[in-house]
Amino acid sequence: MASRADIDWVVITLKRTPERLEQFIENNAHQGLSVEAMEAVDGQKLDREELIRTGLIAPDLQWVAGALGAALSHRQCWLRAVETGQPVGIFEDDVLLRNDFARLAHEMVGSLPSYWDLMQFGLNTDSVLEAELVPGCLVYGDFDRWYPTAAECERFVNSEAPVTPVRLTTSFGACAYVVSPRGAQKLLDYCFPLSWTFRYIRQLNIMLRAKTADALMNSYYGEMAAFISVPPIAMARNDKTVSTVNA
């Protein structure tokens, strides 16, 4: 079983929004995890021509500034895993964690096969999920609560429902996950340069064009040893009115 020291935990947070980091600490300090604040890449300050020149984005990419900054922030975490040879656990700064997150996260990671690439602890419920609940058999669906209320968030953090990791093929959101060094290298190879990748989403019967890092990442989960916690033990507030990704 993985010990707490086996995972290098970081929270991605913008320097210009210190209140979000303060809220993350207030909400989750009781977990007992050693979490380093990693300064996010500020999309408002990026030079797109330089990103094209250095091969980080495709010439025709038209992602908004916030999405670019978020993608490059996750890239920093993936590089860290590759360079240190240690799994990196990644939080976005608006995430809520179940009160028993620290114990359950490490138990689930410790139970994964040795070849695991990525373990997701939460997802956005305003979209869809596809996972392999039975070997060789995928189940997929959507959710009847797109955005959690304050009362639902409180019930969530106090939940004690049993959890298990299952193979993941489709989900959206990157509020809380851990990536192995091998998985991090795969994501670096798959996702960069950032591009307008299309993927057929069978639950919605549409071809989806990736406009954010999580959408691009989920284009490759089926090719990775990717897993997700069922039920989730992390919840994205996913409040579009205060999002720093969609601006």
Task: Give the burial class of 63: count Cβ atoms within 10 A of its Cβ; 0-12 exposed, 13-18 middle, 19 or more buried.
Answer: buried
The range of the structural domain enclosing residue 154 comes to: 4-236
pTM (2 d.p.): 0.92
Q: With b meaning 16 or more CB within 10 Å and e meaning fewer, what string describes 140-153?
A: eeeeeeeebeeeee
Tell me, what's the pLDDT at 202? 77
81 within 8 A of 88, measured Cβ to Cβ? yes
**Would you give the distance in Å from CA 208 to the centre of its chain?**
18
Residue 146 within a domain: yes
Q: Please give the torsion angle defined by the CA atoms of residues 12, 101, 109 and 202, in that order, rounded to the nearest 10 degrees.
A: -70
Residue 246 lies in a domain: no
Tell me whether residue 243 is in a domain. Answer: no
Specify the pLDDT at position 118.
98
Q: How confident is the model at residue 1 (pLDDT cuts 50, 70, 90)?
A: very low
For residue 242, being part of any structural domain is answered with no
- Does residue 247 belong to any structural domain of this protein? no
Phi (first) and psi of residue 97, to 5 degrees: -115, 140
Q: Is the distance from CB of 71 to CB of 216 less than 8 angstroms?
A: yes
Instruction: Quote the number of domains for the chain.
Output: 1
Lowest pLDDT segment from 101-110, 117-126, 202-211, 216-225: 202-211
Do the bridges between strand 88-92 and strand 137-142 make them parallel or antiparallel, or are there none, so unpaired?
unpaired
Calculate the average pLDDT of the chain: 91
Distance CA 95, CA 76 (A): 19
Domain-located, residue 244: no
Write the CATH number for 222: 3.90.550
